[in-house]
Amino acid sequence: MKRVLIPIDFSENSWNAAKYSIELFKNEACIFFLLNTYTPAIANSRFMASNVNSNQVNSEKNSSEKGLIEVLKRIKDTYSYKNHSFETISSFSLLVNEIKRVVECEGIDLIVTGTKGASGLEEIFMGSNTVQIIKSVKNCPVLAIPQYFQFTVPSEIAFATDLNRFYSPSELQPIINLSKTFGATIHIVHVQYKTKDLTELQQFNLGMLRKYLKNAAHELHTVTELNSISNTLEVFTDEFDVYLLAMLNYKHSYVEKITREPVINRIAFHTQIPLLVIPELGMERSSKNHKGETLFSK
């Protein structure tokens, strides 16, 4: 059974992420964990323990629990998939810290989070919370859903890579299984600067990548970088009607490069399509969860 964590802040943005994840896995047995964290404003002080008033905490706690009950009711009023179950978690904690704890304790397979519209420079791209989750959670994929994106079957999946890194089968498994589930074509997108031939290392990595994807429909696209990687990927996904973009997050990866691009280059990329970010798994996490189930299994 798949185990999906959805951070909930009671906004329409997080509700949209919940709707997307429920539709994405409507044919699979899933437990969805709805997480809300609360911290009174004073709790952000380094003197948190001594400054927090118990009445403040109780008030926030009640609001959190009541809000989760209302979200759960909204879900049950909207959906009736018999293979889905839901658990709520209300926690007096910082969001990223609690997400890391829940991922570890509950054997979470996927985090689905909403991305906000930009309300300040720090939230351009995906929103500060989403960026922090992606940067901090090292053992679980993160699926970021744009604020106004309505669920569309991901019949075309783009996998952006510079081919400078060897990918393990477990890192590619989420993409492969999504491809199998939806009969989707995987578009390997290699963004190159001007016209440069693949190095020997890149050719080897491409060969191994195609070997791992041999049972999934896939195509290779080598595209010349426009004014930025984010703009290049935006143009590509629009041209090929791609409704899911996947990237691996590691040192010098596209994810890292995009988050460091000048703000003006990231605005267009901000709320286009869902983005699946897979962490560099290495030895930290195998392709199976704590119960021995394959991640993103069909």
| Mean pLDDT estimate for the chain | 82
What's the pLDDT at 99?
97
Quick one: 14 and 90 in the same domain?
A: yes
Q: Tell me how many domains the chain contains.
A: 2
What's the pLDDT at 123?
41
More reliable by pLDDT, 260 or 184 = 184
Quick one: 25 and 124 in the same domain?
A: yes
Q: Which of 142-146, 165-169, 278-282 has the lowest mean pLDDT?
A: 278-282
Residue 33 lies in a domain: yes
Quick one: 178 and 131 in the same domain?
A: no
How many helices, marked H, and strands, marked E, lie in the chain? 10, 10
Quick one: 255 and 137 in the same domain?
A: no
Residue 288 lies in a domain: no
- Six-digit token pair at 11? 């906004």
Residue 231 lies in a domain: yes
Confidence of residue 175 (pLDDT cuts 50, 70, 90): very high
Q: For 77-114, give the DSSP string.
A: HH---TTEEEEEEEESS-HHHHHHHHHHHHT-SEEEEE
What CATH number is associated with residue 105? 3.40.50.620
What's the pLDDT at 46?
53
Distance, CA of 109 to CA of 276 (rounded, Å)? 13
What's the pLDDT at 70?
97
Quick one: 184 and 95 in the same domain?
A: no
Give residue-wise pLDDT tens across range 38-94: 986 554 555 455 556 677 788 889 999 999 999 999 999 999 999 999 999 999 999
Quick one: 267 and 139 in the same domain?
A: no
Containing structural domain, residue 174: 156-279
Quick one: 185 and 233 in the same domain?
A: yes
State yes or no: pLDDT of 209 exceeds 90: yes
Quick one: 11 and 139 in the same domain?
A: yes
What's the pLDDT at 6?
98
- Six-digit token pair at 194? 């001007």
State yes or no: pLDDT of 8 exceeds 50: yes
Q: Which of 90, 119, 145 is the C-terminal boundary of a domain?
A: 145
Q: Which of 145, 175, 200 is the C-terminal boundary of a domain?
A: 145
Residue 298 lies in a domain: no
Quick one: 161 and 140 in the same domain?
A: no
Residues 183-207, mean pLDDT to the nearest whole number: 89
What's the pLDDT at 131?
78
Q: Which residues of 220-247 are buried (b: 16+ CB within 10 A; e: fewer)?
A: eeeeeeeebbbbbbbebbeeeebbbbbb
Residue 297 lies in a domain: no
Quick one: 124 and 255 in the same domain?
A: no
Residues 246-251, mean pLDDT to the nearest whole number: 84
Distance, CA of 267 to CA of 122 (rounded, Å)? 12
**Residue 253, SS3 per DSSP:** coil
Give residue-wise pLDDT tens across range 255-292: 666 655 544 344 434 557 898 989 886 534 443 444 44
Residues 146-170, mean pLDDT to the nearest whole number: 91
The CA-atom distances, in angstroms, between 248 and each of 163, 224, 279 are: 11, 20, 6
More reliable by pLDDT, 29 or 123 = 29
Quick one: 20 and 135 in the same domain?
A: yes
Residue 284 lies in a domain: no
Residue 141 lies in a domain: yes
Distance, CA of 279 to CA of 171 (rounded, Å)? 8
Residue 192 lies in a domain: yes
- Six-digit token pair at 200? 């020997």
Quick one: 89 and 176 in the same domain?
A: no
